[in-house]
Structure 1
Amino acid sequence: MDRKNYNRIKAAMAEKRVSQKYLAEKLGVTVGTVSTWCRNFKQPEVPTLFQIADVLNVEAASLLTAKQNLESL
């Protein structure tokens, strides 16, 4: 796996079957904002990262670590 293009938010969303639109609505941001996070163009601020973890029902650390196996989500 190419770590440079690996995105833990995108992977967690896929694992939880959550769309960018759903996450955007829950966070009160635009779909474009979520898209920039998923494409590694920008990263969310730390408080937003905790909100993302809450919406996806995952540990915030799982969105920060280099762990590639997301089976524990």
Structure 2
Amino acid sequence: MAEERINRIKEILVIQGKSQKWLAECMSKTPTTIAAMCNNKSQPHLKDLKRIAAILDVDIRELLVPTKE
């Protein structure tokens, strides 16, 4: 069964032409940690999600998969 997609971090990085390694450096986190978040194997804490939104200059809600249409 496929992993449930909760966040769109990887998608936003692709749209903006930025790498996971770049985000890891901006966040002072390991590339492995960021890769796990991007692949929805782990989810960032809310404070980290807020920081990612600020770094990527997007609304925090854009980083999440909507639960309702």
Give, in angstroms, the shift of residue 64 of structure 1. Answer: 2.2
* RMSD between aligned residues: 2.1
Q: Which runs of 5+ in 2 are unaligned?
A: none
Say yes or no: does 1:47 pair with 2:47: yes
Partner of 1:34: 34
Aligned structure 1 segments of 4 or more residues deviating by more than 4 angstroms: none
The TM-score, its normalising length taken from structure 2, stands at 0.83
- Where do 1:1-73 residues align within 5 Å? 4-5=4-5, 7-66=7-66
Give, in angstroms, the shift of residue 32 of structure 1. Answer: 0.3
Which one-letter code corresponds to 1:53 in the other structure? A
The TM-score, its normalising length taken from structure 1, stands at 0.79
Q: Which runs of 5+ in 1 are unaligned?
A: 68-73
Aligned residue pairs total 66
Higher relative contact order structure (alpha carbons within 8 Å, sequence separation ≥ 6): 2
- Residues 2-32 of structure 1 deviation map (CA, whole Å, 9 limit, x = unaligned): 9x44741111001111101100000010000
